[in-house]
Chains A and B, each alone.
Chain A
Amino acid sequence: MQSHCIEQGTDLPVGAFLRPLTPHADARGSLTEVHRAEWSDTAVVQWNVTRNEAGALRGMHLHLHYDEIYVLPRGAAEIVLYDLRPDSRTLDRCFALDLRAVAPTSLLVPAGVLHGLAFVVPSLLLVGRTREHDGEDDWRCRWDDPDLRATWRPERPLLSDADSGAGSLAELRRMLAAH
């Protein structure tokens, strides 16, 4: 799988982190440590399980006050990150990377980094959050805004109603400035 973005590879926004995970296999199957509290500076207080159809896209989403951790036990995901933190040295840079269940990895996405995930095949994604969901702090913009400078693999992804009705990156910036 390939994504086309200004920055490619394992280059990541400041504070984002990729951790390879190790499945321990025996005759019964395998055990993989997905997360340990000491791996993260802040406590994960909620874990969600998402099931994703081939062609589904979740994004672009932004949270100002909590981090997220992604782990993909099944399938494959293309991830686009865009740094919107004013004090970050990776401000306004776009990053693309892949998560694949065959090479299990966890990805920490810090608060202030806009993110979207597209699923090429049916996929299972675990999402850890450092704040419980309360409907607040959920910002978004259109996944295909040209200002993101990201070219996604799916051309007509399956979106939620909220994501398909999202505004532009410029509108998101204006809302953040007024916030």
Chain B
Amino acid sequence: MERDALAIPGVALRALQPQRDRRGSLTEFHRSSWPESITIRQLNLLEFVPGSLRGVHLHHRHWDYLCLLSGQLLVGLKDCRGAAAPSPGGATALLALDASQPVSVRIPAGVAHGFFSEQGATLLLAVDCAWDPADGLGCRFDDPALGLAWPTGQPILSARDRMAGSFAELLAAYATALRHPA
């Protein structure tokens, strides 16, 4: 699964190294100088109730950088970038994260992504732009054209994610966003 994720250009994984002592541990999550990281403009903390899914979302401008603080999380990735224009034929990956083996994941702009937690999770999610509602496209998590084999058909979704359109519509909106950058 890790190999599949790394087959998507720009996706980067970094094994994080907790330094333990009697007080607990310290884990470096991000350094600006790390080649696998991003310039963090905003850092968010996300709590997932068991059975919840966020996505599938796509940003045409900003990159994400994340690390799981507790629980387990399935990260679904679908590359929507083509050589000249958005393409439905990009690589797909499902990445299983476990907070007991901390790893950071970088997701480039143009790679659609969804996060599912079966048992509940806490996620640290950084972005390299201030939050902009115009940079948040999405589609149904279960559109077969995504090729993401989620282990559930009925996750807890936001109203927006539940009402989202098809993957084909997402690609069309992505192409428009690239042609008309705000």
Contact = CB atoms under 8 A, between A and B. Distances in A.
Nearest to A127: B26
A136 interface: no
A126 interface: yes
Interface stretch (A7-15, A50-58, A92-100): A50-58
Nearest to A30: B47
Q: Which of A49, A56, A132, A159 has the most CB of B within 10 A?
A: A49
* Chain A: number of interface residues, binned into ranges: 35 or more
B42 A53 contact: no
B35 interface: no
Given A32-B44, A32-B45, A47-B43, A26 B23 contact: no
A2 interface: no
B46 A29 contact: yes
B44 A29 contact: no
Interface string A112-139: 0000000000001010100011000000
Given A28-B158, A35-B40, A36-B43, 4 more contacts: A37-B41, A47-B29, A47-B40, A49-B69
B33 A132 contact: yes
A30 B18 CA distance: 26
Interface in A2-31: 23, 26-31
Contacts of B52: 27-29
B75 interface: no
